[in-house]
Amino acid sequence: MFEGLAEKLQGTFKKLRGKGKLTEKDINDALREVRFALLEADVSLPVVKEFINSIRERSMGAEVLESITPAQQVIKIVNEELTALMGDKRSDVVFNSSGVTVFLIVGLQGGGKTTTAGKLALHYKKQGKHPLLVAADIYRPAAVQQLEVLAKQIDVPFFALEGETPVTIATEAVEHSLSHGQDLVIIDTAGRLHVDEELMEELQEMKDAVAPQEIFLIVDSMIGQDAVNIAKTFHEELGLTGVILTKLDGDTRGGAALSVRKVTGCPIKFVGSGEKLDALDPFYPDRMSARILGMGDVLSLIEKAQANVDQEKAKELERKLRTQEFTLDDFLDQIKQVRSMGPLEELLGMIPGLGGAKQLRKIQDEVDEKDFVYLEAIINSMTLEERNNPNIIKSSRRKRIALGSGRSVQDVNKLLKSFEQSRKLFKQLSEMGTGKGSRKLKSMKFPFM
Amino acid sequence: MAGLFSKLKEKLTKTDQKQQKSKLKETLTKTRESFVSKVKQLVTVHKKIDEELYEELEDILLQADVGVAATCRLMDEIRQDVKKRKISDAADLRNLLQGKMKELLGEDVSLQTDFPPPTVILVVGVNGVGKTTTIGKLAYRMRQEGKSVLMVAADTYRAAAIEQLEIWSERADTEIIKHMPGSDPAAVVFDAIQAAKKRDIDVVIIDTAGRLHTKVNLMEELKKVRRVITRELPDAPHEVLLVIDAATGQNAMRQAELFKEATDITGIALTKLDGTAKGGIVFAISEELGIPVKLVGTGEGIDDLDDFDSDEFVSALFADDEEDEYDEYGEEDEGEGDDE
């Protein structure tokens, strides 16, 4: 569907090559591409217009017009301004210095309020707080049970009152927390449309009753142009203090983040990135702007790799690589490590330039998740001796391994060949070896690619 | 249009459904009003067709989540037509745009539930779009039509999802098949199909866990569910409904693409149309993937579900604020099922 903005801008400026100097019109054409890219990413139109106007002046400046790489310059400007707009650094959550802190969780239906409430409780429980999860969604069937189940899963106390209004539930919950030693009350409210005046009023009453330190608007990151309307109304009615962006583990570009941020002026304090209750991450403006522009999320990828790669093993592997002791067992280990970083397609999506649907899918077709399973099966069908010394694997052994792993002899050949190639490649790389940083990255490389 | 007489007939016979209809009218009016009045305003402000008018029309489409590609294509076509047919009146431009948008949506196809029993409807979608609610409403509608319905709680993952469906099954007065939380959805579905065959159930509606279309494992799980259904009942599932939240932006296209790949969806249920979101992405989905919208959700009530009628939907988008236009939409809606 959409190529990255970088490609498009390069295309725009390529047409102008040999023309000598860039004109104002050329820049306007480029800005048009930026406009489309932002719209494709679901940034709301009024926000896009304002943004384009704000970067027009800078784009007309010398740094673009006289640059030999105008496309990069424009992207740099767009990225910088976008990041600045999204908030320079993430702002922290407000806690009541003494007594109970109250969070009110609000938003549309289906945004992920209940799940997020559970995630917040777990997050702060880990930081030594004593959260109380409060079910004030009395409308949706089984919403109360849902929060109760989540509370049990993370072993956090849960509060609900049958047959009471949300305002009473919230008030009683705060009372309850005071007498039960809880210092953080997280109130999950019913999903509601911003145009539902009655229910918006109910939220105001809840706010008045419990005076929350934080009112979080939960925003589904897949939301489109309507983001401005939603955020504006919720903010006007309630005075939000923060935004939590959910479902960012999909492939949405998440332009709603920018719209909501612009309209409310509220910082995005967390992002939800999965259905598991520990999938609550801090918000990084720079990564979000890169994502909106379709430039991939390299930083998150690197972080993910670092979090999952066993440093001890990595060191050992590095030594083996350098000394040519790298065996098929290590190869298997590497495969396992890569796989432990999460589904492959998720990782691929973070690599710049692969964000585009078509390209990503092409690669997904080529690198099937199943291939890893097959590779593992083949290696598991080898004897220890064979794994340590693949040179002894001749035709009859190959046949046996193929039979044992349920793959063809060709597959076994392919694996052995690519193993041999990567061994050579690593030898070369380690001979070129320079600083520590590059070594670290090297040990993370897929040995078979 | 062929539906006119049947509509008149209904008007006379189905007065009791008026109340229900006026509710739909009310909710859809909100969606429409902003769009309609905007277009109307534009056309009256600009008597003539100028660049500014084009730009403002383009803005309206973009803000309805129609998407850059589809919007550009629509606007290009309109510009060409204006030139070719020497249109100069701004009001004609509205009709032109309306016609083009109708074309994008293609012909209406309503949800088919009259197969030799059991008709199996599989309901899929990303998290939080309103799958379970839509199923509750759909089941209620089937019950109103006198059909026996079996709900299948194949969302064994999300906390209290089974309880949620149970409550809907009570409200809609249907049977339900469920397993323990965390069990294999395919096993639940297997049991359900067996039960449906034994109990002579007319319609089986399967609720699945919300899943992001990018999660390969979960999409594989869905494929397996589908395989199990087909193995037990060769023509099933008869309908695979992808539920899309009307507020979703361009990502809905990816959702449609990948769910189509995994489960071969037959239609879309567009939910939460009672807000200010326009759901304009369905134009692109319909055009590029050929997947029709079959149902629209317009509220949290059990009867807030209607057949999607592209013709009326688009006319409504561009209609003046006259009462009868809305009336017609409401009536037409009900007539659909009977006409087919």
B175-177 and B149-154 beta bridge pairing: parallel
AA identity, residue B19:
Q
Looking at the partner chain, which of B212, B247, B274 has a beta carbon nearest the beta carbon of A247?
B212
The answer to whether the Cα torsion of B328, B334, B338, B340 is positive or negative is: positive
Alpha-carbon gap, residue A123 to A131, rounded angstroms: 10
Alpha-carbon gap, residue A110 to A308, rounded angstroms: 31
Is A250 within 8 Å of B213 when comparing Cβ atoms? Answer: yes
**Stretch (H or E) spanning B207:** strand B203-208
For residue A365, how many other CB atoms are within 10 A of its CB?
A: 8
AA identity, residue A205:
E
Residues B118, B123, B127: CA angle, nearest 5 degrees = 160
Interchain contact A374–B (C-beta under 8 A) = no
DSSP E strand boundaries for A50-116:
101-107
Confidence at A98, pLDDT banded by 50, 70, 90: confident
Which pLDDT does position A65 carry in this prediction? Answer: 73
Q: Which of A408, A61, A76, A107 is CA-nearest to residue A233? A: A107
Which pLDDT does position B16 carry in this prediction? Answer: 40
Interchain contact A359–B (C-beta under 8 A) = no
Q: Which of B236, B208, B207 is CA-nearest to residue B120? A: B236
Structural domains of chain B in order of their starting residue, each with its CATH number: 24-105 (1.20.120.140), 119-334 (3.40.50.300)
Residues of B in contact with A45 (CB under 8 A): 59, 62-63
The distance of Cα A224 from the centroid of its chain, to the nearest Å, equals 18
Which pLDDT does position A340 carry in this prediction? Answer: 65
Alpha-carbon gap, residue A374 to A146, rounded angstroms: 39
pLDDT tens digits, B92-123 = 887 888 888 988 998 889 999 999 999 999 99
pLDDT tens digits, A264-299 = 999 999 999 988 999 999 898 888 888 888 765 555
**Mean pLDDT, residues B33-38:** 59
**Mean pLDDT, residues A69-95:** 79
Q: How much of chain A, in percent, has pLDDT values that exceed 90?
A: 43
DSSP 8-class letter at A47: H
On whether the CB atoms of residues B228 and B189 are closer than 8 A, the answer is yes
**Mean pLDDT, residues A48-54:** 92
Which pLDDT does position B304 carry in this prediction? Answer: 94
Q: What residues of chain B, 195 to 214, have a C-beta less than 8 Å from chain A?
A: 212-214
Alpha-carbon gap, residue B273 to B313, rounded angstroms: 12
Looking at the partner chain, which of A148, A224, A249 has a beta carbon nearest the beta carbon of B247?
A224
Confidence at B335, pLDDT banded by 50, 70, 90: very low
* Lowest-confidence segment of A31-40, A157-166, B308-317 by average pLDDT: B308-317
Is the pLDDT higher at A2 or at A25? A25
**Mean pLDDT, residues A70-80:** 80
pTM value? 0.76
* Lowest-confidence segment of A205-209, A374-378, B236-240 by average pLDDT: A374-378
Structural domains of chain A in order of their starting residue, each with its CATH number: 3-85 (1.20.120.140), 101-293 (3.40.50.300), 300-442 (1.10.260.30)
Q: Tokens 């057949």 correspond to what residue?
A: B307
Structure ipTM: 0.81
Mean pLDDT of chain A, nearest integer: 81
On whether the CB atoms of residues A149 and A115 are closer than 8 A, the answer is no
Is A109 within 8 Å of B272 when comparing Cβ atoms? Answer: yes
**Mean pLDDT, residues A405-417:** 88
Interchain contact B127–A (C-beta under 8 A) = yes
Alpha-carbon separation of residue B30 from A190, A335, B25 (angstroms): 22, 54, 9
Alpha-carbon gap, residue B284 to B110, rounded angstroms: 19
**Mean pLDDT, residues B36-51:** 69
pLDDT tens digits, B209-268 = 999 998 888 999 999 999 999 999 999 999 999 999 999 999 999 999 999 999 999 999
Does residue A349 carry a pLDDT above 60?
no
Instruction: Report the side by side order of strands in the sheet with A242-246.
Output: A158-159, A131-136, A184-189, A101-107, A214-220, A242-246, A268-272, A280-282
Confidence at B325, pLDDT banded by 50, 70, 90: very low
